[in-house]
Amino acid sequence: MTSNKRVCILYTGGTIGMVPTEFGYAPKKDYFNTLLNQIHQMKSPALPSWDVVEFDPLLDSSNIAIDEWNNIGRAIAERYEEYDGFVVLHGTDTMSYTASALSFMLEGLNKPVVFTGAQIPLCELRSDGRDNLINSIIIAGEGIIREVCVYFGGKLLRANRSTKIASKELQAFDSPDYPALAEVRIDICYNESAMSLPSRPKTFHFTELQSFPIGVLKLFPGFQFELFEGMINSNLKAVVLEAFGSGNIPTNNRALVDGIRKSAENGTIITVTSQCQRGGTTLGTYATSNDLVESGAISASDMTTEAAIAKLYYLFSCGYDTDRVKLLMETNLRGEMNDVV
Ligand code: ASP
């Protein structure tokens, strides 16, 4: 069977196209097409036809941040009508951050944007990149999914629910608190019930992000607030506070509690995520979250830290005031969370 679909591959870097160098694996300019030409399945008429856009510079994803998110979003927006779907080749290290950000930046998306990559480069015999790439192109061409997602090691995940869970396994990603959108077995089995999304505009709209001062603070037993005071009391627009369990903090640590309260009074949005992979935060369940409730901190519900950071950048970039950002942080916009009840 011949496919009449068209897929655009945006190659940003990452292990998939890397080569060994004296300093370790690194991307190599103008080399990716050579690698693709060695994969005979890439020439199959059953595969959607594809074009590659190679980014310059190619990056290890540790070096990817807001400018690159904008470049990826712009590249998709400029070609949106031309293709049935998009595959973004990206390093695995920060893939969930970028994919989460794109899920907010691309509003009203009506076709698949599939992030993938590899744990072993294509130039190596046992690369997982071939399967990841080919399945991602097929999923992008099929057009069943209409959102940003991550395909890796047989699973298609909602982007803003995904997280990198393994640095040495081929199943490197999971969405611990949300079912997979599809599983690739002999057939590609889509999970219809997981594919529902909050209502969205009919027209596609791309929002560029700007940089804002946002912090992430992970609590641990024995946390010495004095060491972090400079950070939390500076002019941060938001702090993602990775708290214990359902959103609890050591309330006997008065320096911490007072610091959070002061920072909230100064207008910093305290967004509370959970260190647990499943279930998220429900502030007010325990007395050890009461100080957070009283200081006006908001619950990130079951959002991942990656999604919470991306969403904060997005909402600030939309120009919303503090109250609106707080309200929307507790509202499910792109399937990233259960609404806070
Ligand atoms: N360091 C690499 C990157 O994130 C790892 C990978 O792609 O698997 O670009």
> pLDDT tens digits for 85-121?
999 999 999 999 999 999 999 999 999 999 999 999 9
Residue 202's pLDDT is what?
87
159-205 pLDDT, tens digit per residue, is 999 999 999 999 999 999 999 999 999 999 999 999 999 988 889 99
- Strand order, beta sheet including 269-274: 214-218, 238-243, 269-274, 298-299
Q: At what angle do helices 66-79 and 95-105 cross, to 10 degrees?
A: 50
CA of residue 94 to ligand 1 center, whole Å:
8
Residue 341's pLDDT is what?
65
Candidate from 60, 124, 152, 164 with most ligand 1 atoms within 8 A of CB, to mutate: 60
Q: Which two tokens stand for residue 196?
A: 């529902």
Ligand 1 contact, 119 CB (< 6 A): yes
Ligand 1 contact, 27 CB (< 6 A): no
- Residue 101 · residue 313 · CB < 8 Å: yes
Nearest CA to ligand 1 atom 3: 91
Strands 163-164 and 173-174, bridge-based pairing: antiparallel
Candidate from 19, 61, 116 with most ligand 1 atoms within 8 A of CB, to mutate: 61
Residue 15 annotated among the catalytic residues of the structure: yes
Ligand 1 contact, 15 CB (< 6 A): yes
Alpha carbons 321 and 339: distance in angstroms, whole number? 20
Which atom, in ligand 1's list, is nearest to the CA of 14? 9
Nearest CA to ligand 1 atom 7: 91
Ligand 1 contact, 17 CB (< 6 A): no
- Residue 178 · residue 196 · CB < 8 Å: no
- Amino acid letter, 283: L
Which atom, in ligand 1's list, is nearest to the CA of 93? 4
- Amino acid letter, 133: L
Q: Active-site residue among 12, 15, 268, 281?
A: 15
Ligand 1 contact, 302 CB (< 6 A): no
Q: Is 154 left (phi over 0), alpha (psi -120 to 50) or beta?
A: left
- Residue numbers in the chain where pLDDT is lower than 70: 341
Ligand 1 contact, 317 CB (< 6 A): no
Alpha carbons 55 and 12: distance in angstroms, whole number? 5
CA of residue 140 to ligand 1 center, whole Å:
22
